[in-house]
């Protein structure tokens, strides 16, 4: 039976079904038990499954990540929450030095079926350390898979796939999209963690986006359509590994590309995508790859974030630059 749910509720249902289907799954983090998390993503799970499987931790992110390593070694499938994006930084050493490298350290003998859930991105009017885009830190780390949904359907299916995966997954949740609604027939099958999707077909240029900027890209495409320009929108879904097959196929068709993300342009994911496109499709591209992101400055106070974040106008200006050639 179909039902209309938010992206946040889709995550909640994915966690519920994972707990129900696999006794090895544990869900934990700061205030995720009785409170249900600051965004209520884990609401009701402790009541259903008990405090031994859904439990609160101290305010100690490094310990949260370290516990995940130990639990995985004991045969569990832990799903740990970092309350906000920048709160994950104290756990960075455990994630990058231990969690990401355990399979290599053990010559393949040790799996790390761990999911680290991180709400990320801006556009919620929050104070500092609550609106950052840490994806490139994790994408740069060998041994981690990094995925991010942009719709309720993908939230459920990607999280299901991440929990089932034998390797550690950084699961980035676009917090500004938690309240996005979609009609779904649940449960959905798990999605592979290495495939992008064509969110909108087009012919004149490709917009590559992920997580919180997919809706910006789609809005830009809708506006452009009214002006006679056909834009294809690719939702990357997986940041590591990148689905270059889907990306290249789209750009080979449109011959122009714009990458959009909330993170700073400097050393952002768009730089890697642009470099790969220039290498793979140099003879196809009709214009340099454009990047739309933020300035290399700390995230601004909430009153200025609308000026800081990518919007439809900035995306369309980038598209115009590619079509000027």
User: Residues 244-258: pLDDT tens digits?
Assistant: 999 999 999 999 999
pLDDT of residue 128: 85
Model pTM score: 0.96
pLDDT tens per residue, range 77-101: 999 999 999 999 999 999 999 999 9
Catalytic (active-site) positions:
130
pLDDT of residue 127: 85
pLDDT tens per residue, range 32-54: 999 999 999 999 999 999 999 99
Residue 305 tokens, joined: 């974030």
pLDDT of residue 292: 98
Of 65, 63, 28, 67, nearest to 46 by C-alpha is 28
Residue 40 tokens, joined: 């209520």
pLDDT of residue 108: 83
CA 274 – CA 260 distance, rounded (Å): 11
- Exposure letters 189-203 (e unless 16+ CB within 10 A, then b): ebbebbebbebbebe
Q: 263: helix, coil or strand? A: strand
DSSP string, 40-99: -TTTTHHHHH-TTTEEE--S-HHHHHHHHHHHHHTT-EEEEE-SSGGGGGGGHHIIIIII
Please indicate whether residue 103 or residue 284 has the higher confidence score (pLDDT). 284
Task: Scan for tokens 């506006």, then name that residue.
Answer: 223
Residue 1 has pLDDT above 80, yes or no: no
267, 219 in Cβ contact below 8 A? Answer: no
pLDDT of residue 163: 98
pLDDT of residue 2: 85
pLDDT tens per residue, range 15-33: 999 999 999 999 999 999 9
Domains and CATH numbers, the chain: 2-185 (3.40.50.970), 197-322 (3.40.50.920)
Q: How far is CA 73 from CA 24, 76, 171, 237, 238, in A?
A: 12, 7, 20, 28, 26
pLDDT tens per residue, range 98-115: 999 998 888 888 899 999
pLDDT of residue 61: 96
Strand 238-240 vs strand 145-147: parallel, antiparallel, or unpaired?
A: antiparallel
């Amino acid at each position: 039976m179909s039902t209309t749910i938010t992206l946040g509720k889709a995550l909640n249902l994915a966690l519920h079904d994972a707990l129900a289907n696999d006794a090895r799954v544990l869900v934990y983090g700061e205030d995720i038990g009785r409170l249900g998390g600051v965004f209520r993503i884990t609401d009701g799970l402790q009541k259903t499954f008990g405090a031994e499987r859904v439990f609160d931790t101290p305010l100690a992110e490094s310990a949260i990540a370290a516990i995940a390593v130990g639990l995985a070694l004991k045969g569990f499938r832990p799903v740990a929450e970092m309350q906000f994006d920048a709160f994950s930084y104290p756990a960075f050493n455990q994630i990058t030095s231990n969690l990401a490298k355990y399979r290599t350290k053990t010559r393949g003998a040790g799996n790390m079926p761990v999911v680290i859930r991180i709400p990320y991105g801006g556009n919620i009017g929050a104070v500092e350390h609550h609106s950052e885009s840490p994806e490139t830190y994790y994408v740069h780390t060998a041994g981690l898979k990094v995925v991010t949904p942009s719709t309720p359907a993908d939230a459920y299916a990607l999280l299901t796939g991440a929990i089932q995966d034998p390797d550690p997954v950084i699961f980035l949740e676009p917090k500004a999209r938690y309240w996005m609604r979609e009609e779904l027939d649940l449960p959905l099958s798990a999605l592979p963690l290495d495939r992008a999707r064509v969110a909108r077909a087009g012919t004149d240029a490709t917009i590559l986006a992920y997580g919180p900027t997919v809706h910006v890209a789609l809005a830009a495409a809708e506006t452009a359509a009214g002006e006679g320009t056909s834009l294809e929108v690719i939702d990357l879904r997986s940041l590591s590994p990148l689905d270059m097959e889907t990306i290249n196929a789209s750009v080979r068709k449109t011959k122009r590309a714009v990458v959009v993300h909330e993170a700073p342009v400097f050393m952002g994911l768009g730089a890697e995508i642009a470099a790969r496109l220039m290498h793979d499709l140099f003879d196809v591209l009709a214009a340099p790859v454009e990047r739309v992101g933020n300035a290399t400055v700390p995230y601004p106070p909430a009153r200025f974030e609308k000026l800081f974040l990518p919007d439809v106008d900035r995306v369309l200006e980038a598209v115009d630059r590619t079509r000027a050639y």
